[in-house]
Structure 1
Amino acid sequence: MRRGVRLGTGLAALCAALLVASCGSSSTGTAPTPGPSAPVSGTLIVNGAGTLAGPFKQVIAAFKAQNPGVTVQSRFAGSVELVRGVTELAAPVDVLGVADYSLIPAKMFGAGGGTRFADWYVGFASNRITFAYTDHSKGAAGLTPTNWYQVLAQPGLHIGRSSPDTDPSGYQILQMLALAQGYYHQPNLAAGVLANSPPGTLVGTETQLLPALQSGQIDYLGIYRSDALQHHLRFIDLPPQIDLADPAQAAAYRSVSVPTSSGAKTGKPIVYALTIPTNAPNPAAARQFVEFVLGPAGQKIMNDNGFTVLSPAVAGGQPLPAPLRPLTTPATLPGG
């Protein structure tokens, strides 16, 4: 187990596995840069997945420097919870960022003749699901790439994770464990690990438990690699066959499905996405914010914070705002 960085798979694999029309580099800002836009003003409401809090605070600061007339209100929580805020509670949101792109077409595109809360999404980054830990975590001294699931199943450990009903990492951890059972030929693997993470201890989003991990209240935390890197934590370097990060493994990921309160969630590569709800109070500022995230400055911030940038971003739904089209390529993602 290590603190280092395993490089993400190339975007060529993403193109092939997700049926993307054309893709560029996944390192840093290689997407074409649109012409300069006039500064925008007013209040901009940004809601994002908990794991986007770190990079988006930097993005917001840089965006405000370019647009001094903008006041940004931000909130970071579980992606499922944030989508429900728009679709069920009519929460005013200008930009919505989720850790699972499929939430947008599934819950916001008006399936079955329902209200349409969004018309499109752009997948802009990917990540890896893992367990983070510290040098003081129980069992850490004996943890290896081949015995991690045995260590995490030892009695007396405390494992934190988010609820699959509110947060993608909650169901992605379960998907990873289901994949691990087949990969390691251990049919009781998931049950052994989850015995140390009872349902009563689940939280809305995994980033809420970072202080508990750092203080030793819990030993391991189901979370994304980007958060482990940002907070200088150790993490289990899971194989690509189970970490939901390798587009070449998309067919294998689809072999697992886990239950949630809103229906079964089938495994797929992790892709973060942005959209602007149809009732956004400040759509002009929202478009420029999304444009900034997809551009070189935004890409660099995401890359520096441990994400794998998709450049160009992949676009689903229609019609995409004209200023975003040069930064994206059409895609057909599973369920989207």
Structure 2
Amino acid sequence: MLKMLRSLISIVGAGIALLGAVAAHADTVNVMYAGSLVHMMEQRVGPAFEKATGLTFQGYAGGANQLASEIRGKLRRADVFVSASPTVNASLMGAANGNWVSWYAAFAESPLLIGYDPHSRFAQALLTQRWDKALTQPGIRIGRSDPKLDPKGAFTIQLLDKAERLYKDPGLSARMVGDPENSAQVMPEETMVGRLQSGQLDAGFFYSTETTDMRIPAVRLPADFDNIKANYTITVLNGAPNEAGGRRFVAFLLSDAGRQLLRDSGIDVKTPQLSGDVATIPADLQTVLARPVGP
């Protein structure tokens, strides 16, 4: 009898623990997002979302391609995925890719800039010389993200390829960054700001949201390169553990309050552009995603 009682207590206890875990999960929204948004998500959006909804924000940052790989490999589960490039979503669409994404909305942009350490001995050159001349000086330490794991790293290589053609300088990329996988320069996207601020780097390639949020001096590239920028997208992942919470996060980010947080972080907000199977967009998000951006 005693043994049966102990078993019953054990079962009840396990059931209570399970219910507690489910309840805790229902209150938590897991968001995987591009590493360039670390400060904005953790210091602005996350706290504001929690205050507005009573839910708990749990963020995980990384290169968008790397995050997509982790989703496909089932290494990490999330409710919402925020990428810095629409093409990353394609790698999560369709049966061959696990059907993780059915639709996504491009909602904001952030141009690629050159952020620099104002205490660096190369700072004056960045202010007075053309950007490519300043970044090819001997000894300058440049940081950039991995072009295979992060769209910003790929955009950097794209920028240099275009500069070689415009400036008729076929050796520019090799002189500035060496090999695309140069280990002396390539680093995790989410660590670049800290390395620049600690004096480990003289300059690096950043989005405007990073330089604005972290008050990093930056050089804007000439108008010829205006098309090289982050194009942020958002979606609720199929099979999301907390789909309802994920939908609430999307609705908050694209609300007036959320859009203002984006602007405060140096991001250019735009009317959402939908891609994929738009018929699968949840009804409660269709109106949100149709809202135009005001003047």
Q: Describe the superposition over 1:266-301 as per-residue Cα deviations: whole angstroms up to 9, x where unpaired.
A: xxx531001111110010110011011111011000
Aligned residues: 264
| Residue 41 of structure 1, CA deviation | 4.8
| Residue 218 of structure 1, CA deviation | 1.2
**Distance in 1, Cα, partners of 2:241 & 2:128:** 48
**Distance in 2, Cα, partners of 1:71 & 1:215:** 31
**Distance in 2, Cα, partners of 1:79 & 1:48:** 7
The correspondence of residues 66-145 of structure 1 with structure 2, limited to 5 A, is: 66-68=52-54, 70-104=55-89, 106-110=90-94, 113-144=96-127
Aligned-residue CA RMSD (Å):
2.2
**Distance in 1, Cα, partners of 2:147 & 2:185:** 9
Larger RCO of the pair (alpha carbons < 8 Å, separation 6+): 1
SS in structure 2 opposite 1:164?
Answer: coil
Verify: 1:295 aligned to 2:255, yes or no. Answer: yes
Q: Is the 8 A contact 1:133 1:233 kept in 2?
A: yes
Name the residue aligned to 1:323. 284
Name the residue aligned to 2:45. 59
Alignment-mate amino acid for residue 325 of structure 1: Q
Verify: 1:313 aligned to 2:277, yes or no. Answer: no
C-alpha distance 115-160 of structure 1, shift in aligned 2 (>3 A): same
| Residue 133 of structure 1, CA deviation | 0.1
Name the residue aligned to 2:237. 277
Q: Describe the superposition over 1:40-61 as per-residue Cα deviations: whole angstroms up to 9, x where unpaired.
A: 9522111111111222222221
**Distance in 2, Cα, partners of 1:176 & 1:143:** 17
**Distance in 1, Cα, partners of 2:69 & 2:151:** 13
Identify unmatched segments of 5+ residues in structure 1.
Answer: 1-39, 246-268, 331-336
**Distance in 1, Cα, partners of 2:92 & 2:179:** 35
**Distance in 2, Cα, partners of 1:78 & 1:211:** 16
C-alpha distance 139-294 of structure 1, shift in aligned 2 (>3 A): same
Name the residue aligned to 1:14. none
**Distance in 2, Cα, partners of 1:213 & 1:195:** 20
Q: Is the 8 A contact 2:38 2:190 kept in 1?
A: no
**Distance in 2, Cα, partners of 1:233 & 1:90:** 34
C-alpha distance 190-329 of structure 1, shift in aligned 2 (>3 A): farther
C-alpha distance 204-281 of structure 1, shift in aligned 2 (>3 A): farther
Q: Is the 8 A contact 2:49 2:57 kept in 1?
A: no
> Of the two, which has the highest radius of gyration?
2
Q: Describe the superposition over 1:231-253 as per-residue Cα deviations: whole angstroms up to 9, x where unpaired.
A: 111112102322435xxxxxxxx
Name the residue aligned to 1:46. 31
SS in structure 2 opposite 1:127?
Answer: strand
SS in structure 1 opposite 2:106?
Answer: strand
Greater fraction of residues in helix: 2
The correspondence of residues 152-231 of structure 1 with structure 2, limited to 5 A, is: 152-195=135-178, 199-203=182-186, 205-231=188-214
SS in structure 1 opposite 2:220?
Answer: coil
**Distance in 1, Cα, partners of 2:184 & 2:125:** 25
Percentage identity across paired residues of the two chains:
30
| Residue 187 of structure 1, CA deviation | 1.8
**Distance in 2, Cα, partners of 1:85 & 1:122:** 21
Alignment-mate amino acid for residue 317 of structure 1: G
Identify unmatched segments of 5+ residues in structure 2.
Answer: 1-24
Q: Is the 8 A contact 2:117 2:123 kept in 1?
A: yes
Name the residue aligned to 2:20. none
Alignment-mate amino acid for residue 327 of structure 1: V
